[in-house]
Structure 1
Amino acid sequence: MTKFSISQLQSSHSDNSDLNIKEIIYLMRRHLPLITITISTFFILSVLYTLMQIPTYTSTTMVVVEDKSQTGSMFDLGFETNLSLINTMNNEIELLKSRTLSEEVVNDLWYSPHKNNLFLYGSKCYKPEGIKKTLRGLWDSIFNRKNVPKSYVQDAGISDSLFLKAAETLRKNMSVTNDRNSNVLKISMTSNDPDESALLANTVARLYQQRDMEWSAGEIINLRRFLQDQAKQVESELHLVEDSLRQFQEREQIFELEGNAKQLLDQLGQIDTKYRSALAEINIIRERRRYIDSKLSQEEKTLKGQLLNSIDTRLLALRTEIAQTDANLVRNASTYGENHEAVLSLRRKLTRLKSDLEEQTNQLIAGGTSVADPLKYRQALIDTSLFLESRLANYQSIAAEYKKIVNQYNRQLSTLPAKSVQFAQLERDRSVLAETYSLMRQKFEEARITEASQLGKIRIIDPAIPPLNRTSPNTKINLAVGLLLGLGLGALTAFLIEQTDNSIKNVSEIEHKGLNVLGIIPDISKAIYATKKRRKKKKTQKTPKGHKGTINVASDIKRRIITKEDPRSPISEAYRSLRTSISYASVDNPTKTIIVTSPGPGEGKTTTITNLAITFANIGKRTLLVDADLRRPVIHRIFNLNIEPGVTHYLTGFPRDIHPLIKQTEIKNLQVITAGATPPDPSVLLSSKRMHEFIKSLEIGWDVILFDAPPAIAVTDTSLLA
């Protein structure tokens, strides 16, 4: 008989571990029940998850951020016409997501009529219907959750814990996006109620626009008040000077100067007016700087100081040249007049230098503040403050030059008679204060008009509306994910089972090793199970109450002798095919002695050898079936024979002849030698010289001899017997 080992089959299995498409399909079909159960389980879980989820809705409002960095303000005061504020869309997005704005929204809605009908405050709860209601109720009861909306007193304030929780929830449910190369922001809010999602989105946009308007007009309002106070102060001083001048004229009867004195007074008045105007500009810049600095934190002020030092260091030479040019311009203008070629040339040079200074300052400021967190450092405020510092230094330089010229004219006036000097001083003060008052009133009116027309840079172009469709759960996606997860996990489990299973699964694994397949026996376990169930039911009906019937292994195997019970069945035909294959496996040297074994117990070796023996006997061959499984003998029970005497008796010396061991069965031409008494160590008996004599004595008298051997892997008995 052709032999092959289990290790060879395992090696064959590992050689074919790389699966092709055909093998994958076979694997899927082989484990189809497992995969089906996994897919069904995940599909059901996906359905339950979808039904358990509270629906969410998303509403979106659109706002446009107008870029005013390239346009001049009405209140540039002649020195900020090209001021550019670095305010990118990323800054606006961070401002929208800021904690401060979320807290303003929470506070605004708390004092609105919607307070007791919002998921945000827990004053509204989800109310499912149908099967969702049942599932949610079961879920809440398992985790002891109470789905009861809260109610708040209308005029009561919000608690700190609820305030912080609602603000954090609002920030988590907010999404702000910006399309590339556009200044449009999309503010999306998510809520469990469609109306609430629209309300939240519109409230965020409204308060965002309101805050921008307050920030934009805040500096203008402060400056308008400052100019109003300054104008009143100058007006009061002007009235005092006018009264003093009138009293002096009435007392001294001097109403004007003549000749060089009058010309000197006119020149002094012009220069002094410019000097006072420069001082007014300096005061305005300082007030604006003070207001902006009051809005900065200590860290922001530190950053501003660092940037200012860096700018001063890099632009020192340029600023020095501008200061010298300003001084020359003031001196030449006072000497030669405004229309002299030297004055015009200096003015053109000064314009070019100031343009270079502003451009380089912009670059340095942008490079210094662009690395800052837009929430931690309010970039635009810092930039404006830095520009004011630059303008302040410029005007201080101009005022210093005018002061020098004023001092020169004062020294010239001091050479006039005392009364003329006194009159000149009063007249000069009146003229200068009148010009200063006119300038202050002009700036005040400009500030007032600018304040009235201040609209901010935020425009709401598309308010949010309640959405018709929910955002989540997405039923189609959830079910698709569930099916894919189920399929993937099922296939993975099947693959792992296949990889860890070293058993022979198909004929190709044997043929791959060059071994001949003598026969294929179908699985008869289902048919046997059905028969067993019917017989057990009948036996239970016949068994008296209180008596327990027994079902042993032999009776199970006996029912598997299908070649006797149902010789016309396809399974019986398979055994006959196996018999034919064995008969013609070696025509020149016919096989007479056959050992039937299996890797482990319970795999059907006894069923196979019994049916094979019957098929040999049915064609007239004298067949002997030897039960060589001395550890767990079963064949004597199948044929209802006495186990003694048997193989062990012969091997131990009694009887000395094999004829007392041979037992006749109900089947013609089929005889059996049972195992005999169970020995303590069967392997010793099977390897003895007596065993060789036993096999020799069986060669005469039978055409086919079949040995039922123990499992090959469990014990060494089969190897010794072979």
Structure 2
Amino acid sequence: MDTFASANGAPPQGLTSTPQLPQMPWAKDEDELDLAQLLTVLRRRSLMITGVAAGVLGTVMFNTLRQEPVYEGNFEVLVEPVNAEDNLSDLSGLLAEAAPTKGSGLDYETQVQVLRSPELIDQVLEELKAVDPELDYENLLKNLTIRRVGETKIIEVSYRGTDPVKIQATLDALSAVYLKYSLDERQTNLRQGIQFVDRQLPELKGRVDELQGQLERFRQTYNFIDPTTQNQRITAQAQQLSTQRLEVDRQLAEARASYDLLLASGGGEVALQTAPVYQSLIQQLRQVETEIATELTRFQPGSLRIQVLEEQRQRMMPVIEAEAQRVVNARYTEAENTIQILETQNQTIAAAEAQLQNTLTQLPTLARQYSDLQRELDIAVGALGRFLETRETLQIEAAQTEIPWEVIEAPNQPEVPISPNAKRSLVLGIVASLLVSVGAALLLEKLDTVCRTVDELKGLVKLPLLGTIPYQSEFDDSDRQKAGGMGQWLQRRMGKQDMMTADGYYGYGGSQFLESMRLLQTNLMLMGADRPIQSIIMSSAMPGEGKSTVARHLAQTAATMGKRVLLVDTDLRRPTVHHRLGIRNGKGLSDLLSGNASAGDVLQKAMPFVHFYAITAGTMPPDPVKLLSSKRMRLLMRRLEKDFDLIVYDAPPLVGLADATLIAPHTDGLILVSRVNTCDRNVLNHAMDNISFTNIPVLGLVANGVAAKGRGYKYYSSYGYDSKPGLPASDVEPIMEEHPKALAAASNGNGGGLSIADFMKVGKDN
């Protein structure tokens, strides 16, 4: 074990840093409760929920039972005929110059206010003076309810009070007053409606006649039928004129081309080629010349036959020239006449197009004028028709027997009080008590920042759960201030078999705590399947979460499983490892890093018969951060990884201190220990922020202090532990006889007095 003593000096050649495992991701908690969390909260706050629910329910029932009984009576009135055609609605629409609205023509909100008006209520109070002289307008309205029943034509009138007889009398008086009011109001409305229609009809008729005359004069003036037809007609004319203009332009171009051809050189010859008379004369001339040429072969030029033919040719030449001149002049005259005729047609078509374009430009204005006149006429005709129809309907209703409002449900004397309702109050009380109690529990849970369950820890940190450690008092060595050394341990082993089982140095009996430590060590081994995890750092968010206890027992468990383990106390501020292991703390890590001690001085064997060693914190330095961040600390950590299978660093808490943050990057990863019912959410969030910011490699989470009855721990006691665990004292005595040094140290009560060589020898022999 002295091989890492060179850590005080220069680093060995070729020494490289140990590769680290990838950091595990986590995310922020969203402060949301799922169903499992809700059930957990309700179960934990069950006493408070029961107390609050009982108090709320008791208060509700007490107030219900002490209330004075209240009765309510009502009657219903049909205010419009079921098959009414809403004539008054049509009349209202005419007054507003709008189409009649659908549905009932009665404004029910206004009608309700009228029924509550002082004019009608005073009539009711006059009839009730003999029944209740003290009743006034305000008290009556306070207990009176008038409403429309859904979308029906029924109005319901309700009245509450403590005396059923007075309620019956009040409802009777209200129904009588309302029926009388409805009859008077209906007669008045019908008479006023007929008078208004009669006054409006002459004006509407005159308006319709005037608009019809204006529309007729407009059609005659502008030859206008309607906008759609007029637009189609103008479009067709425009297309026809355009086609004609294109044809005239083509003919005019041909005529001008022919005329230019006549004027051009050789144009007359082209014209003569198509003249039949001229061509006939030319043909005759050619025949004469042919004969002359033929005869000259037979006769002399001065012969009679030749002279006769030449005279004939001479006579034909003037005729041919005269015919040619006539044909050319005729063609000139014809071309000029054709051009003049086509130009005249073109001008006529252009004028027609201009006139049509002017008409097309005025068409929107004319169409708008026509539409305005037509719309006004339609409105006037429609209004006139509705007025005529309304007058006929009103006259028929006025001639018939006028029916007032109809009471379809007569006033009744209430017998059963509506309040208090014990059943309803009980149901409402139960619902209210549950809501208030659960709400109070959730509010208290929201205000409580302590993590109560393992699931809350997992949801908060979003890290893999490496293990859950149950709390067992026999393994809680946090209050061990005077351990008594190795000798005291041996005395317990030889004298008390039960304590042997509790500490579990050999037997590891059926303890839930020790089984959870084995499971934690197994999980670490499986995480390092590709490359074994060799160095870990144990820390927590805040003090008192059991990180040192977990570190000590994890290292002890790994040692009993055959590994060479070293536990290093890097908490140079409040060291606890030497107290928990019961060894001396004369010189330790701080002395080794400062150069005041060698490796042999600080290395101690924490447990006999297995390879479990420890380096305590040593002398408390003035600046722990300076020592932990030194190059010598990094070299020491690298050297230790060559000599031990597993190194466990017990570090200070993460929040508020930089010690663990400085060491963690040079290990395989950090294990965060959190104790349920102790860890604060805010502090844990702060710790996770520090880890995320510094990019520390994290292996996972260990939940400490979990209730032994949860998460399957109850099965430990009944599975696979039929034999009595532990190492009897009779088996320890022969071992101690073979190691007199260890026995001497035990008898002196100073387990820390053994030398490193003695510890190594004991471990090797065992």
Instruction: Calculate the TM-score normalised by the size of structure 1.
Output: 0.45
Q: Bigger radius of gyration, 1 or 2?
A: 2
